[in-house]
Chain A
């Protein structure tokens, strides 16, 4: 990791079009905080790292949690839960296979 010391109003350039500027340094000890300004093209994603970490953790949770859960109750109410007017209905898929609780097996051949 490259380590640099910067004071307020001083900047770091990354490549030709990204500037990271220290705007303000305040507090001390545990309360110390740095206010940073970022100039970058719109194509560059700028995120607080903890946001990305939270999304990653949520994805991992989502990928595993549902396996054992019986969701049939949700589906019986799904019709009344309403439909969006967006394009979601176009996200057509295969017909569902067995739900949790039923034996897991390949769908029976048609007809």
Chain B
């Protein structure tokens, strides 16, 4: 039975209930946001998605595939999290980073310290705060301020080198 979802950004959307992704425990700081739908941006399949909240029509999150920008980025997914999501191995999980896109999208940042870990089969996920890591909550996606999206290919190096948190 399709579900009618009102959204600020995309208008009214009809979606089959089995397409809904549930984030267990909700998003950190937004605990009422637990059910989401994925919306493809225009154009060919790429490293970006929209994650529209079903529980809050105004809440839409811009997701990025960290592997497309930082090939070395591999957050440690604890066995406990795998168990919670019903994953046999961490490799089965989809890892996605939530972005903040300012007025100038070239200054976009991705939250690598708290990626979404999703089991695509069960359509459940969590936001995993990668404990005691050097990953930044505001990792610039495009290193050169003047870089365009297509220029990003050359610059995905210092992935794991995300801003160190300092002292410990």
Interface residues, chain A, with chain B CB atoms under 8 Å away: 42-43, 45-47, 51-52, 54-69, 71-100, 104-107
Interface residues, chain B, with chain A CB atoms under 8 Å away: 7-13, 15, 19, 27-30, 33, 37-50, 53, 56, 58-63, 65-69, 71, 78-80, 92-96, 98-103, 105, 108, 111, 113-114, 118, 120, 127, 129, 131, 137-138, 148-153, 156, 165
- Beyond A73-B148, A87-B120, whether A52 also contacts B102 by CB under 8 A is no
Whether B28 lies near A87 (C-beta < 8 A) is: no
B126 → A minimal CB distance (Å) = 11
**Can you list 26 A-B pairs with a CB-CB distance of less than 8 A?**
A42-B80, A58-B114, A59-B27, A59-B28, A59-B29, A62-B99, A65-B100, A66-B100, A66-B101, A67-B9, A71-B41, A73-B105, A81-B150, A82-B69, A87-B93, A87-B120, A88-B67, A88-B68, A90-B94, A91-B38, A96-B40, A96-B42, A96-B50, A98-B11, A104-B8, A106-B13
Interface residue from B7, B58, B61 paired with A62 (Cβ < 8 Å):
B61
Residues of chain B with a CB closer than 8 A to A68's CB: 103
Residues of chain A with a CB closer than 8 A to B93's CB: 87
Whether B13 lies near A94 (C-beta < 8 A) is: yes
Nearest first, the 8 A-B pairs at minimum CB distance are A56-B29, A84-B67, A77-B149, A78-B46, A93-B38, A97-B10, A88-B65, A77-B150
Whether B47 lies near A82 (C-beta < 8 A) is: yes
* Complex alpha-carbon distance, A92 and B120, angstroms: 10
Closest chain A residue, CB of each to CB of B29: A56
Residues of chain B with a CB closer than 8 A to A78's CB: 41, 43-44, 46-48, 149
Residues of chain A with a CB closer than 8 A to B45's CB: 83, 89
